[in-house]
Protein backbone atom coordinates (compact mmCIF):
# COMPACT_ATOMS: atom_id res chain seq x y z
CA UNK A 1 0.00 0.00 0.00
CA UNK A 2 1.26 3.48 -0.91
CA UNK A 3 0.44 6.15 1.64
CA UNK A 4 0.73 9.91 1.02
CA UNK A 5 3.97 11.28 2.45
CA UNK A 6 4.53 14.79 3.78
CA UNK A 7 7.71 15.09 1.70
CA UNK A 8 5.79 14.62 -1.57
CA UNK A 9 4.94 18.29 -2.33
CA UNK A 10 8.44 19.35 -1.27
CA UNK A 11 9.93 16.79 -3.67
CA UNK A 12 7.70 17.91 -6.54
CA UNK A 13 8.57 21.56 -5.94
CA UNK A 14 12.28 20.70 -5.95
CA UNK A 15 11.92 18.75 -9.21
CA UNK A 16 10.43 21.86 -10.81
CA UNK A 17 13.53 23.87 -9.88
CA UNK A 18 16.52 21.52 -10.22
CA UNK A 19 17.63 19.12 -12.95
CA UNK A 20 18.44 16.54 -10.26
CA UNK A 21 16.67 15.74 -6.99
CA UNK A 22 18.37 13.46 -4.47
CA UNK A 23 16.38 11.69 -1.75
CA UNK A 24 18.33 10.05 1.06
CA UNK A 25 17.29 8.22 4.19
CA UNK A 26 17.63 4.87 5.92
CA UNK A 27 16.86 1.68 4.07
CA UNK A 28 13.18 0.75 4.01
CA UNK A 29 11.95 4.26 4.82
CA UNK A 30 9.86 4.41 1.62
CA UNK A 31 12.15 6.35 -0.75
CA UNK A 32 11.64 4.12 -3.78
CA UNK A 33 7.88 3.86 -3.26
CA UNK A 34 7.55 7.63 -2.97
CA UNK A 35 9.67 8.46 -6.01
CA UNK A 36 8.01 5.88 -8.25
CA UNK A 37 4.53 7.07 -7.22
CA UNK A 38 5.36 10.74 -7.88
CA UNK A 39 7.17 10.15 -11.18
CA UNK A 40 5.32 7.18 -12.74
CA UNK A 41 6.42 8.04 -16.30
CA UNK A 42 10.13 7.98 -15.52
CA UNK A 43 12.13 4.80 -16.17
CA UNK A 44 13.19 3.13 -12.93
CA UNK A 45 16.69 1.68 -12.61
CA UNK A 46 18.03 -0.03 -9.50
CA UNK A 47 21.78 0.17 -9.16
CA UNK A 48 21.77 -2.57 -6.54
CA UNK A 49 21.48 -5.13 -9.33
CA UNK A 50 25.09 -6.28 -9.97
CA UNK A 51 24.81 -6.29 -13.77
CA UNK A 52 23.25 -2.82 -13.86
CA UNK A 53 25.86 -1.46 -11.45
CA UNK A 54 28.63 -2.98 -13.58
CA UNK A 55 27.21 -1.35 -16.72
CA UNK A 56 26.98 2.04 -15.02
CA UNK A 57 30.52 1.66 -13.68
CA UNK A 58 32.16 0.45 -16.89
CA UNK A 59 30.23 2.55 -19.43
CA UNK A 60 28.73 5.53 -17.58
CA UNK A 61 28.14 7.58 -20.74
CA UNK A 62 26.34 4.72 -22.45
CA UNK A 63 24.32 4.02 -19.34
CA UNK A 64 23.12 7.64 -19.05
CA UNK A 65 22.45 7.88 -22.80
CA UNK A 66 20.10 4.89 -22.52
CA UNK A 67 17.70 7.15 -20.60
CA UNK A 68 17.78 10.40 -22.62
CA UNK A 69 14.77 11.93 -20.82
CA UNK A 70 16.12 11.05 -17.39
CA UNK A 71 15.20 8.34 -14.89
CA UNK A 72 14.86 7.34 -11.26
CA UNK A 73 18.24 5.93 -10.24
CA UNK A 74 17.76 3.90 -7.06
CA UNK A 75 20.57 3.30 -4.52
CA UNK A 76 22.94 5.46 -6.52
CA UNK A 77 25.59 5.26 -3.82
CA UNK A 78 26.43 1.84 -5.28
CA UNK A 79 28.12 3.61 -8.22
CA UNK A 80 29.33 7.01 -6.93
CA UNK A 81 31.63 7.21 -9.96
CA UNK A 82 28.50 7.71 -12.10
CA UNK A 83 27.74 11.12 -10.59
CA UNK A 84 30.83 12.66 -12.18
CA UNK A 85 29.44 11.81 -15.61
CA UNK A 86 25.93 12.86 -14.62
CA UNK A 87 27.34 16.32 -13.90
CA UNK A 88 28.41 16.79 -17.51
CA UNK A 89 25.15 15.37 -18.84
CA UNK A 90 23.13 17.75 -16.66
CA UNK A 91 25.24 20.73 -17.68
CA UNK A 92 24.53 19.98 -21.34
CA UNK A 93 20.80 19.50 -20.72
CA UNK A 94 19.79 21.35 -17.54
CA UNK A 95 16.02 20.89 -17.81
CA UNK A 96 14.35 20.64 -14.43
CA UNK A 97 13.29 17.34 -12.94
CA UNK A 98 15.05 14.96 -15.33
CA UNK A 99 16.88 12.83 -12.78
CA UNK A 100 15.69 11.55 -9.43
CA UNK A 101 18.34 9.86 -7.29
CA UNK A 102 17.84 7.85 -4.13
CA UNK A 103 20.41 6.56 -1.67
CA UNK A 104 20.31 4.82 1.68
CA UNK A 105 23.93 5.42 2.61
CA UNK A 106 23.85 9.16 3.23
CA UNK A 107 27.45 9.02 4.48
CA UNK A 108 28.67 7.75 1.08
CA UNK A 109 26.23 9.63 -1.10
CA UNK A 110 26.65 13.11 0.37
CA UNK A 111 30.37 13.25 -0.38
CA UNK A 112 29.81 12.16 -3.99
CA UNK A 113 26.95 14.63 -4.50
CA UNK A 114 28.90 17.50 -2.92
CA UNK A 115 31.82 16.80 -5.23
CA UNK A 116 29.92 16.30 -8.50
CA UNK A 117 26.44 17.81 -8.29
CA UNK A 118 26.81 20.88 -6.08
CA UNK A 119 24.31 23.52 -7.20
CA UNK A 120 22.62 21.03 -9.54
CA UNK A 121 20.56 18.99 -7.11
CA UNK A 122 18.20 19.47 -4.20
CA UNK A 123 19.02 17.18 -1.26
CA UNK A 124 15.98 15.90 0.62
CA UNK A 125 15.62 13.32 3.39
CA UNK A 126 12.88 10.75 3.89
CA UNK A 127 12.61 9.02 7.26
CA UNK A 128 10.13 6.33 8.33
CA UNK A 129 6.59 7.73 8.60
CA UNK A 130 5.54 10.07 11.36
CA UNK A 131 2.62 9.23 13.64
CA UNK A 132 0.28 11.20 11.38
CA UNK A 133 1.48 9.27 8.30
CA UNK A 134 1.36 5.87 10.03
CA UNK A 135 -2.34 6.33 10.73
CA UNK A 136 -3.00 6.05 7.01
CA UNK A 137 -2.22 2.32 7.14
CA UNK A 138 -5.36 0.23 7.82
CA UNK A 139 -3.55 -1.55 10.65
CA UNK A 140 -1.63 0.85 12.84
CA UNK A 141 -0.85 1.00 16.57
CA UNK A 142 -3.48 2.77 18.63
CA UNK A 143 -1.85 2.78 22.07
CA UNK A 144 1.38 4.40 23.21
CA UNK A 145 3.35 1.31 24.25
CA UNK A 146 2.65 -0.52 20.99
CA UNK A 147 3.57 2.60 19.03
CA UNK A 148 6.91 2.85 20.82
CA UNK A 149 7.65 -0.86 20.56
CA UNK A 150 6.65 -1.34 16.91
CA UNK A 151 8.46 1.69 15.51
CA UNK A 152 7.65 3.33 12.20
CA UNK A 153 9.32 1.39 9.38
CA UNK A 154 6.50 1.18 6.81
CA UNK A 155 6.86 -2.46 5.77
CA UNK A 156 5.98 -3.62 9.28
CA UNK A 157 2.64 -1.81 9.06
CA UNK A 158 1.97 -2.37 5.36
CA UNK A 159 2.71 -6.10 5.21
CA UNK A 160 1.72 -7.00 8.76
CA UNK A 161 5.15 -8.50 9.45
CA UNK A 162 5.77 -9.04 13.18
CA UNK A 163 7.96 -6.14 14.31
CA UNK A 164 10.48 -8.32 16.14
CA UNK A 165 11.07 -10.54 13.10
CA UNK A 166 11.38 -7.64 10.64
CA UNK A 167 13.70 -5.64 12.90
CA UNK A 168 15.91 -8.68 13.46
CA UNK A 169 16.40 -8.96 9.70
CA UNK A 170 16.95 -5.20 9.44
CA UNK A 171 19.74 -5.29 12.01
CA UNK A 172 21.39 -8.19 10.20
CA UNK A 173 21.12 -6.80 6.66
CA UNK A 174 21.56 -3.08 7.18
CA UNK A 175 23.38 -2.33 10.42
CA UNK A 176 25.60 -5.39 10.46
CA UNK A 177 26.23 -5.39 6.71
CA UNK A 178 25.94 -1.96 5.07
CA UNK A 179 26.99 0.26 7.97
CA UNK A 180 29.74 -2.13 9.02
CA UNK A 181 31.14 -2.26 5.46
CA UNK A 182 31.40 1.52 5.27
CA UNK A 183 33.35 1.52 8.54
CA UNK A 184 35.44 -1.48 7.47
CA UNK A 185 34.74 -3.05 10.85
CA UNK A 186 36.38 -6.41 11.27
CA UNK A 187 34.96 -7.31 14.66
CA UNK A 188 31.21 -7.75 14.17
CA UNK A 189 30.63 -8.60 17.82
CA UNK A 190 32.25 -5.38 19.05
CA UNK A 191 30.30 -3.25 16.57
CA UNK A 192 26.97 -4.91 17.36
CA UNK A 193 27.65 -4.46 21.06
CA UNK A 194 28.41 -0.79 20.44
CA UNK A 195 25.07 -0.29 18.65
CA UNK A 196 23.22 -1.99 21.52
CA UNK A 197 25.02 0.21 24.03
CA UNK A 198 23.90 3.26 22.04
CA UNK A 199 20.32 2.02 22.27
CA UNK A 200 20.76 1.79 26.03
CA UNK A 201 21.78 5.44 26.07
CA UNK A 202 18.90 6.82 24.00
CA UNK A 203 17.38 9.88 25.66
CA UNK A 204 20.54 10.43 27.72
CA UNK A 205 23.45 12.84 27.60
CA UNK A 206 26.29 11.37 25.58
CA UNK A 207 29.66 10.53 27.11
CA UNK A 208 31.75 9.18 24.23
CA UNK A 209 34.66 8.12 26.41
CA UNK A 210 32.39 6.06 28.67
CA UNK A 211 30.54 4.63 25.68
CA UNK A 212 33.81 3.60 24.02
CA UNK A 213 35.13 2.09 27.24
CA UNK A 214 31.96 0.04 27.73
CA UNK A 215 32.19 -1.19 24.13
CA UNK A 216 35.91 -1.96 24.47
CA UNK A 217 36.99 0.51 21.78
CA UNK A 218 38.89 3.79 21.81
CA UNK A 219 37.30 7.23 22.05
CA UNK A 220 38.33 7.85 18.43
CA UNK A 221 36.69 4.64 17.23
CA UNK A 222 33.53 5.33 19.21
CA UNK A 223 33.35 8.81 17.67
CA UNK A 224 33.78 7.40 14.16
CA UNK A 225 31.19 4.66 14.62
CA UNK A 226 28.65 7.03 16.15
CA UNK A 227 29.13 9.54 13.34
CA UNK A 228 28.24 6.91 10.75
CA UNK A 229 25.19 5.79 12.75
CA UNK A 230 24.06 9.41 12.75
CA UNK A 231 24.65 10.06 9.06
CA UNK A 232 22.80 6.82 8.27
CA UNK A 233 19.73 8.25 10.09
CA UNK A 234 19.75 5.65 12.85
CA UNK A 235 20.53 8.08 15.67
CA UNK A 236 20.48 11.83 16.17
CA UNK A 237 22.48 13.98 18.52
CA UNK A 238 20.53 16.88 20.03
CA UNK A 239 22.90 19.72 20.84
CA UNK A 240 22.58 21.70 24.08
CA UNK A 241 20.90 25.07 23.79
CA UNK A 242 22.82 28.15 24.86
CA UNK A 243 22.66 31.83 23.99
CA UNK A 244 26.29 31.60 22.95
CA UNK A 245 26.53 29.51 19.77
CA UNK A 246 30.11 28.47 20.51
CA UNK A 247 29.10 27.02 23.87
CA UNK A 248 26.52 24.83 22.14
CA UNK A 249 29.43 23.05 20.45
CA UNK A 250 31.35 22.23 23.60
CA UNK A 251 28.54 21.24 25.94
CA UNK A 252 27.19 17.68 26.11
CA UNK A 253 24.62 16.59 23.48
CA UNK A 254 21.84 14.08 24.03
CA UNK A 255 21.67 10.88 22.00
CA UNK A 256 18.35 9.76 20.50
CA UNK A 257 17.43 6.79 18.31
CA UNK A 258 15.22 7.93 15.45
CA UNK A 259 13.14 4.75 15.58
CA UNK A 260 12.09 3.49 19.00
CA UNK A 261 11.07 0.11 17.60
CA UNK A 262 14.67 -0.47 16.54
CA UNK A 263 15.90 0.73 19.95
CA UNK A 264 13.46 -1.62 21.73
CA UNK A 265 14.67 -4.56 19.65
CA UNK A 266 18.31 -3.78 20.40
CA UNK A 267 17.47 -3.53 24.11
CA UNK A 268 15.86 -6.96 24.08
CA UNK A 269 12.31 -5.69 24.74
CA UNK A 270 10.19 -8.35 23.07
CA UNK A 271 6.62 -7.20 23.78
CA UNK A 272 4.90 -3.84 24.25
CA UNK A 273 3.80 -4.95 27.72
CA UNK A 274 7.45 -5.18 28.84
CA UNK A 275 7.68 -1.42 28.42
CA UNK A 276 5.23 -0.84 31.26
CA UNK A 277 7.85 -1.32 33.96
CA UNK A 278 11.01 -1.09 31.85
CA UNK A 279 13.55 1.47 33.15
CA UNK A 280 14.07 2.81 29.60
CA UNK A 281 10.38 3.62 29.06
CA UNK A 282 10.71 7.34 29.79
CA UNK A 283 13.87 7.69 27.69
CA UNK A 284 12.29 5.84 24.77
CA UNK A 285 9.23 8.07 24.90
CA UNK A 286 11.46 11.15 24.91
CA UNK A 287 13.34 9.81 21.87
CA UNK A 288 10.03 9.14 20.13
CA UNK A 289 8.91 12.75 20.70
CA UNK A 290 12.26 14.07 19.43
CA UNK A 291 11.96 11.82 16.36
CA UNK A 292 8.47 13.15 15.62
CA UNK A 293 9.77 16.72 15.76
CA UNK A 294 12.77 15.78 13.61
CA UNK A 295 10.61 14.07 10.97
CA UNK A 296 8.16 16.96 10.80
CA UNK A 297 10.99 19.33 9.94
CA UNK A 298 12.93 17.25 7.41
CA UNK A 299 9.74 16.12 5.65
CA UNK A 300 8.81 19.78 5.26
CA UNK A 301 12.23 20.41 3.67
CA UNK A 302 13.46 22.25 6.77
CA UNK A 303 16.65 21.86 8.79
CA UNK A 304 15.65 20.77 12.31
CA UNK A 305 16.72 23.23 14.98
CA UNK A 306 16.37 20.97 18.00
CA UNK A 307 18.21 21.38 21.31
CA UNK A 308 18.02 20.36 24.93
CA UNK A 309 18.59 22.57 27.95
CA UNK A 310 20.47 21.71 31.10
CA UNK A 311 22.02 24.42 33.20
CA UNK A 312 24.43 23.70 36.04
CA UNK A 313 22.19 25.79 38.25
CA UNK A 314 18.70 26.37 36.94
CA UNK A 315 16.54 25.02 34.15
CA UNK A 316 16.38 21.58 32.58
CA UNK A 317 14.19 21.04 29.52
CA UNK A 318 14.01 17.88 27.40
CA UNK A 319 13.59 19.60 24.04
CA UNK A 320 13.95 23.15 22.74
CA UNK A 321 12.51 23.69 19.25
CA UNK A 322 13.61 26.84 17.42
CA UNK A 323 11.06 27.84 14.80
CA UNK A 324 12.03 31.15 13.29
CA UNK A 325 11.80 33.76 16.03
CA UNK A 326 9.78 31.37 18.18
CA UNK A 327 11.36 29.01 20.70
CA UNK A 328 9.18 26.19 22.06
CA UNK A 329 10.16 24.51 25.33
CA UNK A 330 9.04 20.89 25.52
CA UNK A 331 8.97 18.65 28.57
CA UNK A 332 8.29 14.94 27.99
CA UNK A 333 6.62 12.58 30.46
CA UNK A 334 5.56 9.04 29.53
CA UNK A 335 2.98 8.73 32.29
CA UNK A 336 -0.73 9.34 31.79
CA UNK A 337 -0.91 11.39 34.99
CA UNK A 338 0.72 14.80 35.31
CA UNK A 339 2.64 15.05 38.57
CA UNK A 340 2.84 18.23 40.62
CA UNK A 341 6.45 18.85 39.59
CA UNK A 342 6.11 17.87 35.92
CA UNK A 343 5.94 21.48 34.74
CA UNK A 344 8.70 22.91 36.93
CA UNK A 345 11.46 22.75 34.32
CA UNK A 346 9.62 24.41 31.46
CA UNK A 347 8.00 26.99 33.74
CA UNK A 348 11.38 28.01 35.14
CA UNK A 349 12.92 28.25 31.67
CA UNK A 350 9.92 30.21 30.44
CA UNK A 351 10.24 32.69 33.33
CA UNK A 352 13.95 33.08 32.53
CA UNK A 353 13.13 34.08 28.95
CA UNK A 354 14.63 30.98 27.32
CA UNK A 355 11.49 30.29 25.31
CA UNK A 356 8.36 31.96 24.06
CA UNK A 357 6.04 28.98 24.57
CA UNK A 358 6.02 25.92 26.84
CA UNK A 359 4.53 22.51 26.20
CA UNK A 360 4.22 19.20 28.04
CA UNK A 361 3.94 16.11 25.84
CA UNK A 362 2.74 13.18 27.92
CA UNK A 363 1.21 9.71 27.81
CA UNK A 364 -2.30 10.84 28.73
CA UNK A 365 -5.29 11.90 26.66
CA UNK A 366 -6.41 15.32 27.89
CA UNK A 367 -5.42 18.47 26.02
CA UNK A 368 -5.45 21.88 27.67
CA UNK A 369 -3.37 24.51 29.44
CA UNK A 370 -2.03 24.41 32.98
CA UNK A 371 -0.06 27.24 34.58
CA UNK A 372 0.72 28.70 31.18
CA UNK A 373 1.97 25.37 29.79
CA UNK A 374 0.19 23.64 26.88
CA UNK A 375 -0.69 19.99 27.57
CA UNK A 376 -0.27 17.80 24.50
CA UNK A 377 -1.34 14.13 24.62
CA UNK A 378 1.01 11.91 22.64
CA UNK A 379 -1.77 10.91 20.24
CA UNK A 380 -2.44 14.56 19.32
CA UNK A 381 1.05 15.15 17.93
CA UNK A 382 0.59 15.71 14.22
CA UNK A 383 3.25 17.21 11.98
CA UNK A 384 1.75 20.69 12.14
CA UNK A 385 2.33 20.71 15.90
CA UNK A 386 6.04 21.08 15.17
CA UNK A 387 6.32 23.18 12.02
CA UNK A 388 3.23 25.39 12.36
Spell out the alpha helix ranges (H) of 144-257: 144-150, 154-159, 163-170, 180-183, 188-200, 208-215, 219-231, 245-250
Q: What is the pLDDT of residues 303-335, one digit of tens each?
A: 999 999 987 566 789 999 998 888 999 999 999
In this prediction, residue 102 carries a pLDDT of 94
Backbone angles phi, psi at 141, to 5 degrees: -65, 145
- Structure confidence at residue 249 as a pLDDT band (50, 70, 90): very low
CA contacts within 13 A on the Cβ side of 6: 25
Q: Which among 48, 60, 86, 11 has a CA at the least distance from the CA of 300?
A: 11
Query: What does DSSP say about strands 316-323 and 326-333: parallel, antiparallel, or unpaired?
Result: antiparallel
Of 145-154, 277-286, 316-325, the poorest mean pLDDT is in: 316-325
To the nearest whole number, what is the mean pLDDT of the chain? 90
Percent of the chain with pLDDT over 70: 93
In this prediction, residue 186 carries a pLDDT of 65
Residue 256, beta-bridge partner list: 236
- Cβ contacts of 329 within 8 Å, gap of 6 or more: 309, 317, 319, 320, 346, 349, 350, 354, 355, 357, 358, 359
- Structure confidence at residue 247 as a pLDDT band (50, 70, 90): low
What domains lie within the chain, and their CATH numbers? 8-125 (3.40.50.300), 138-285 (1.10.10), 306-387 (no CATH)
Q: What is the pLDDT of residues 16-39, one digit of tens each?
A: 999 999 999 998 999 999 999 999
Contact 171, 266 (CB under 8 A): yes
Q: What is the pLDDT of residues 59-84, one digit of tens each?
A: 999 999 999 999 999 999 889 889 99
Does this model's pTM top 0.75? My answer is yes
If residue 71 lies in a helix (H) or strand (E), which one and from where to where? strand 71-74
Decide which of 196 and 190 is more confident.
Answer: 196
SS3 324: coil
In this prediction, residue 78 carries a pLDDT of 86
pLDDT > 50? residue 223 = yes
SS3 168: helix
Amino acid sequence: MTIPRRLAPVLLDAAALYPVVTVTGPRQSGKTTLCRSLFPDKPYVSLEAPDTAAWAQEDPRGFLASNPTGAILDEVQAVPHLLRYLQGEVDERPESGRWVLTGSQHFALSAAVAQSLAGRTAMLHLLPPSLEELRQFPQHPTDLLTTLWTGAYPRIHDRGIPAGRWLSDYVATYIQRDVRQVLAVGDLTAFTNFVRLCAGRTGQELNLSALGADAGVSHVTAKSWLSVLETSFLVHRVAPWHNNARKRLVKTPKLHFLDTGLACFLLGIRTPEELNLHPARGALFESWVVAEAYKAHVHAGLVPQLYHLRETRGSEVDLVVERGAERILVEVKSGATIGSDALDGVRTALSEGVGSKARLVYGGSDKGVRSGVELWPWAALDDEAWVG
